[in-house]
Amino acid sequence: MHSSIQLGRIAGIPVGIHYTWLVAFALVAWSLAAGFFPLNYPGWAPLAYWVTGVVAALGLFGCVLLHELSHSLVARARGHGVHSITLFIFGGVSNIAEESENPADEFWISVVGPLTSFALAVLAWLLTRLVALPNTPLGALLAYLAVINLMLGVFNLLPGFPLDGGRVLRSLLWATTGSLYRATQVASYVGQGFGFLLIFWGLWQLLSGNFLGGLWIAFIGWFLNGAAETVRQQQVLKERLQGVRVAELMNPRPPIASPALSVQDFVCTHVMREGHRALLVEDEAGRLLGIVSITDAREVPQAQWATTPVGAIMTRVPLKTVAPDTALADALQLLVEHGLNQLPVLAAGRAVGLLSRADIIRYLQLREELNRRGAGGRRP
């Protein structure tokens, strides 16, 4: 997830917080210190409420981190790469490198999160029995963590795709039907239905006077509804790209530049006149040095274009690259995940092509147009 603050690594996995987490943390700490703890544990000093509220909010997000870490560790144990874990306003997300290749992987990677939350709930409950100080900040903190982890486990098991429960549902449908596409369609529609229920429930709470709680519930429903629709559209896109390889869409004669080419010549000749968004930069021996794009050129003041070589502003190797036989769906995922507009295509260490987002969009538009003509009775 973009716009995150890196905190460090756990088991080699980068951990960060999205800026929206700061909002969530402040809201949770405030609601606990000003509402939950005073209501359920009267008689404390004001400072005790705030200290307990802040520690409880940190404990909540610590438990969310453990929840996500369990997803990541199981994913890695089953052969998946894990890029990072990010905490954000709605909880956390594990950035797993690729989708599961079979329903068993999907099931175990998904179900371990709620199981971890249930285990944390049991642990916190056992500690409340050992501490046996029910009206103290420590006892209240442990009781809160027991209840909130139980709620997290139950909520994540609900079939609100792409929540854990929705992914468990998809894995079961996938195993039953043998079709990931069909399983994703059904699970995403169920997830959208669950999202709409949360929206209506939130609006009802708003009308009943619970403004903050109703708004929060409706916002979660809106988020789940959008996420489910996005996943379904992505799966439809992957289905359309099924069987297509990078070699079929790449530019097999990509424009090549010397590192000595000036930014002015790059912009005026290659961008404005020839319509190239980016050039591969190679040395005289044909070795790839990097890639320069109009985004790089925008970082240079126009007065310095004539004296600045592209070698000084290009993105240098190592770059994100693909091979000619890479599945087009995988290349598109790489473009989206890293916010790229083009990918060099390498074979035996040499650049043999350039794939851009525009190439994929053009292909999809042409395919859609041909499908419409075919549906109208004419053969494409």
| SS3 labels along the chain | CCCEEEEEEECCEEEEEEHHHHHHHHHHHHHHHHHHHHHHCCCCCHHHHHHHHHHHHHHHHHHHHHHHHHHHHHHHHCCCCEEEEEEECCEEEEEECCCCCCHHHHHHHHHHHHHHHHHHHHHHHHHHHHHCCCCCHHHHHHHHHHHHHHHHHHHHHCCCCCCHHHHHHHHHHHHHHCCHHHHHHHHHHHHHHHHHHHHHHHHHHHHCCCHHHHHHHHHHHHHHHHHHHHHHHHHHHHHHCCCCEHHHHCECCCCEECCCCEHHHHHHHHHHHCCCCEEEEECCCCCEEEEEEHHHHHCCCHHHHHHCEHHHCCEECCCCCECCCCEHHHHHHHHHHCCCCEEEEEECCEEEEEEEHHHHHHHHHHHHHHHHHHHCCCCC
- 234: pLDDT strictly greater than 60: yes
Out of 142-151, 222-231, 285-294, 341-350, the most confident range is 142-151
- 107: pLDDT strictly greater than 90: yes
- 53: pLDDT strictly greater than 90: yes
The pLDDT value given to residue 379: 41
pTM for the full predicted model: 0.72
Q: Give mean pLDDT, residues 151-156.
A: 92
- Token pair belonging to 380: 């494409």
Distance CA 279, CA 283 (A): 13
Of 68, 229, 248, 368, catalytic: 68
Per residue in 319-364, pLDDT tens?
888 899 988 888 887 888 778 888 999 988 888 899 988 888 888 8
Q: Are 286 and 278 in contact (CB under 8 A)?
A: no
Residues of the chain with CATH 3.10.580.10: 246-366
Radius of gyration of the chain (CA): 26
Q: Are 3 and 20 in contact (CB under 8 A)?
A: no
- 1: pLDDT strictly greater than 60: no
Active-site annotation holds for 68: yes
Distance CA 81, CA 348 (A): 24
Q: How many CB atoms lie within 10 A of CB 21?
A: 21
Q: Give mean pLDDT, residues 119-124.
A: 96
The pLDDT value given to residue 376: 53
The superfamily (CATH) of domain 246-366 is: CBS-domain (3.10.580.10)
Dihedral angle, C-alpha 249, 255, 259, 265, nearest 10 °? -130
> In the sheet that 278-282 helps form, which strands lie side by side, from edge to edge?
256-257, 278-282, 288-293, 315-316
Mean pLDDT of the chain: 87
**Range with the poorest average pLDDT among 86-95, 114-123, 168-177:** 86-95
- Token pair belonging to 379: 């053969």
Which residues, including other chains, have CB under 8 Å from residue 196's CB and lie 6 or more apart?
221, 225
Q: Give mean pLDDT, residues 71-77.
A: 92
